A = this chain, B = another copy of it.
Amino acid sequence: MLINCVSYQNGVKLADLPVEEISDYLERTDCFVWVALRDATDAELEKMQEEFGLHDLAVEDAHHGHQRPKIEEYGDTLFLVMHLVEIVNSEMAVGEVSVFAGRNFILSVRNRSSQNFLGVRERCEREPELLQLGSGFVLYALMDAVVDRYFPVINDLESELESIEEHLFDKGAALTNIEQLYKLKRKVVVLKHAVLPLMEATGKLHGGRVPPVCATTQEYFRDVYDHLTRINATIDAIRDTITTAILVCQSTVSIEQNEVNKRLAAWAGAGIWGMNFQHMPELKLEYGYPLALLVIGAICGFLYYRFKRSGWL
């Protein structure tokens, strides 16, 4: 579905274009075209390929989706795939956006995601002095928007981890904790798959040899790269902590078991007075029974007290 198809000159919107005129505008050196598609059909993509002269392999990737995030050069054109990650009903939902960026055009194709980029276009149009940097700046603006949306996701994951940590040493909570940690780890892996490949690819858009589209906006791409590095480091820290936390859960289970066993040992004392020896004088005492109960209870209580003091409960 076509969302927008607009041409810009000197950072200012020129006109909404019918799709057929795109190639005409591309021949002009003084303006660039920015097209946005959503869940594009075969026909739409074919039309775009024709108008922009895109490479077969890239179009195929944009069409089939389920790509790894990546940045590829096809001649002068840059082809970029990013994952759109949201948390919907506490599940990760992963969409995809493919961007083709040429000297004087930007084509974005969004798949399986409710996140849109209308805000990006508006913000760009409000800053013509930046927008006139051309397609490189639009590419940056799109990347920046995608990456900025990773931050709330990672914050969600972090606070999920923290809420598990609060109950990490709670008695009897080990199973719930482990289950939640396992699910959390699965989510973290999904985010990692969105971030790490994109980070590696973005690292090639600044410093050293750079695709021509990005030449004038290197510092902006370094900024995106920097954000991705930060997210990636946080992801790694979360993963590491999850592993340690599972280990800790295992230990608390064993320690709890120890306590149960010790109390079991106390009850075993009752066996003493169940022996059938003929000469067991305490059995004849009037208060022998309550005393025995007291002794058993006292031992249990003492173990419980020591256990509690050592920080468990």
Q: A223-B57, A246-B248 are in contact. Are A179 and B233 (CB under 8 A)?
A: no
Asked whether, in the complex, the Cβ of B233 is within 8 Å of the Cβ of A68, the reply is: yes
Complexed CA–CA distance, A230 and B248 (Å)? 29
Complexed CA–CA distance, A284 and B278 (Å)? 6
**Per DSSP, are chain A's interface residues mostly helix, strand or loop, or mixed?**
helix
User: Which residues on the B side are within 8 Å of A267 (C-beta)?
Assistant: 265, 268-269, 271-272
Complexed CA–CA distance, A246 and B178 (Å)? 12
Complexed CA–CA distance, A43 and B186 (Å)? 44
Asked whether, in the complex, the Cβ of A258 is within 8 Å of the Cβ of B260, the reply is: yes
Fill in one digit per residue for A282-313: 1 if any B CB lies within 8 Å of its CB, else 0. Answer: 11111111001100100000000010001110
Q: Does A3 lie at the interface of the complex (its beta carbon under 8 Å from any beta carbon of B)? A: no
Residue in B223, B254, B274 whose beta carbon sits within 8 Å of that of A270 in the complex: B274
Closest B residue to A274 by beta carbon equals B274
Asked whether, in the complex, the Cβ of B186 is within 8 Å of the Cβ of A241, the reply is: yes
Fill in one digit per residue for A246-263: 1 if any B CB lies within 8 Å of its CB, else 0. Answer: 111111111111101111
Fill in one digit per residue for A168-198: 1 if any B CB lies within 8 Å of its CB, else 0. Answer: 1100111110110010011001000100010
| Chain B nearest Cβ from A184, distance in angstroms | 11
Asked whether, in the complex, the Cβ of B275 is within 8 Å of the Cβ of A174, the reply is: no
A-B contacts besides A169-B179, A178-B252, A276-B283, 19 pairs, CB < 8 Å: A55-B219, A174-B255, A175-B312, A182-B244, A182-B248, A247-B247, A247-B250, A254-B257, A256-B258, A257-B261, A258-B260, A264-B268, A265-B267, A272-B296, A275-B276, A275-B283, A277-B282, A277-B292, A279-B287
A interface residues, Cβ below 8 angstroms from B:
55, 57, 67-68, 70, 72, 74, 168-169, 172-176, 178-179, 182, 185-186, 189, 193, 197, 219-220, 222-223, 226, 229-230, 233, 237, 240-241, 243-258, 260-265, 267-280, 282-289, 292-293, 296, 306, 310-312
